[in-house]
Amino acid sequence: MSANDDIAARLEEFADLLEAQDVDYKPRAYRRAAENVRAHPGDVARLAHGGEDALDEIEGVGDAIASKIVEYVETGEIAELEDLREELPVEMGELTRVEGVGPKTVGTLYEALGITTLEELEAAAAAGEIQEVSGFGAKTEQNILENVEFAREATERELLGEARPRGEGVVDYLAGRPEVERIDLAGSLRRWKETIGDVDVLVATEEGEAVVDAFTDWPGADAVIEAGDQKASVRSGEVRVDLRVVDPSEFGSALQYFTGSKDHNVKIRNVAIDRDLKMNEYGVFDVSDVEDPDADQRAGERIAGETEEGMYEALDMPWMPPELRENWGEIEAARDGDLPDLIDEGDVRGDLHVHTNWSDGDYTVAEMVEGAASFGHDYLAITDHATGPGMVGGVGVPDDELREQIEEVRAVAEEADIPVFTGVEANISTDGEISVDDDVLTELDVVVASPHAGLDGDGTDRLVAAVEHPEVDIIGHPTGRYINQRSGLDVDVERLAEAAADNDTALEINANPARLDLGGGAVKTAVEAGATIAINTDAHQPASYDLVRYGVHTARRGWAEETDVLNTRDVEGLREFLE
């Protein structure tokens, strides 16, 4: 965990504990400050050594919060936060992973029943105690009970957006050392899976002990779990980071093997066996003249292993991008010469789903536009939340105010360096109705329609109804899921994608790492059905534009090519789609 992440986590805990005690206003201020600390390009801890005034450059960090940041950097704790923890000694993080349980609920259940852990919450729900608390009922209690196991499993895996920077931090730290000849991430992190169990790092070196020593001294490590000559493990935050060092001549084979997936590797090893070859973490070996190939891992004549490309070439296949290695047909496609030409991060030319301070964002229209231009986007759509169910705090923009916003967006566009589109994120009701009047929708350039409430059961009919609305351009975060928090709607993606293709409506990959919705498998189904994909960040601040990379790699996991994605088009191509 970086210093900025560490500080932000303390501010977020502050917000949760204050909200649990029903304190007004302050929780939002602390959360806004946490977002901006996490996104700050510099080292906030180093900045804090200059005193409270040095933190003025961070948006949302006023005197009170600045003093707490300085206190934490100088002493390792915040006295007021310690007092709040004593007043409310709960496992806030694990409890709020249960869908429907927020900080206020945690505070109420602690006061009424003394619940502090996930196990105590489950026991109370099973015993029927929660429905006896004022403001709760049998249905709420049942929902909690049904979602506890999901929350328990979620604590075991970290979001890609949290794990990937952690892994990249280790790689950057070790890559400059003279002993390190080659280095890369491996495992599910290299395949950009949406959640990660462990961070796996692979190093080619002839000086394993020196690399292990350097690794265990990594500033991001909170504790050393184990350390040997060839591998080591540390704990960083709540995540285990595993290092493995290999001989440089075997780096390619080890990288292929430890990247996985297991299903991909099993399938490809069977291809090797059919050719009298043996494929493992040490290389590809010709075992046609070996009596017992399994007696020695390195038995036979080694024909590949120094590079990962060579491992696949030995089987007459092209190298496969890690995102494809899930045994979803990639091996057959490789043998037939039909691997997709996957979209790259640089192909996305704009963002079509962002928010401003007209709804629940923290920045003005002009600031979001300027941020998009600075990021390198060619265009931007402003799509603040409309009113409707599911909006936290009732921050949606009513229809009459949307008309006022259209005027502001157009005024900003006249001065901007990039084209700016007017838009809205409308809500899709449980019966498929759109929460904005048609006469307002027709005035907007981009209409994103998303589900925000009633996020259980089958949502296919409501989404298809929204797809068929003539003014809807994009279905935002179609399942409504929050990874590790709620599973979202069940959706027949093939049926939805066919409807989207028929109606020229794009289906979104929401690139926020907490969503990644649609996920990789659903994207593959959608692309095969001919649907257009939109990769958007749902940004509420300019710093979030760089989340687009998580959306791109999710698209790659779904075999998406540049031509499959709406916002890889130039502005004229986009306008043609929208019209």
Q: How far is CA 278 from CA 72, 263, 288, in A?
A: 55, 17, 9
Token pair, residue 178, equals 């003279």
How far CA 250 is from CA of 318, 506, 546, in Å, comes to: 19, 44, 34
Query: What pLDDT is attached to residue 2?
Result: 54
Q: What is the pLDDT of residue 60?
A: 86
pLDDT values of the chain reduced to their tens digit, one per residue, 579 residues: 456 777 888 998 999 999 998 888 888 889 888 888 877 767 788 888 888 888 988 888 988 999 999 999 888 889 999 999 999 999 888 888 787 788 999 999 999 999 998 889 999 999 999 999 988 989 889 888 888 876 776 566 889 999 999 999 999 999 989 999 999 999 999 999 999 989 999 999 999 999 999 999 999 998 888 888 888 999 887 788 999 999 999 999 999 999 999 999 999 999 999 999 999 999 999 999 888 887 788 889 999 999 999 999 999 999 999 999 999 999 999 999 999 999 999 999 999 999 999 998 889 999 999 999 999 999 999 999 998 665 555 578 999 999 999 999 999 999 999 999 999 999 999 999 999 999 999 999 999 999 998 888 899 999 999 999 999 999 999 999 999 888 899 999 999 999 999 999 999 999 999 999 999 999 999 999 999 999 999 999 999 999 999 999 999 999 999 999 999 999 999 999 998
**Cα angle, residue 89 at apex, residues 87 and 91 outer, rounded to 5°:** 145
User: Domain 345-578 has what CATH class?
Assistant: alpha beta
Q: Which of the following CATH numbers is that of domain 3-154: 3.30.420.10, 1.10.150.110, 3.40.50.1360, 3.40.50.2300?
A: 1.10.150.110
SS3 for 466-520 is: HHCCCCCCEECCCCCCECCCECCCECCHHHHHHHHHHHCCEEEEECCCCCCECCH
What is the per-residue pLDDT for 1? Answer: 46
| Separation between Cα atoms, residue 181 and residue 189, nearest integer Å | 21
Residue 562, both tokens:
């540049």
Which CATH number describes the domain made up of 251-336? 3.30.210.10
Pick the CATH number of 158-246 from 3.30.1330.10, 3.30.460.10, 3.40.50.12640, 1.10.10.60: 3.30.460.10
Report the half-sphere exposure of 219 (CA within 13 A, side-chain side): 6
d(CA 414, CA 224): 56
The CA distance from 513 to 189, in Å, is 13
User: HEC string of 110-174?
Assistant: HHHHCCCCHHHHHHHHHCCCHHHCCCCCHHHHHHHHHHHHHHHHHCCCEEHHHHHHHHHHHHHHH
The model carries a pTM of 0.79
Task: Report the C-alpha gap between 119 and 380 in whole angstroms.
Answer: 46
Domain residue extents for the chain = 3-154, 158-246, 251-336, 345-578
Six-digit token string for 415? 């001065």
- Please state, in angstroms and as integers, the Cα–Cα distance from residue 153 to each residue in 101, 115, 149, 162, following that order: 16, 20, 6, 17
Structure tokens at 187: 């495992």
Distance, first Cα to last Cα, the chain: 45
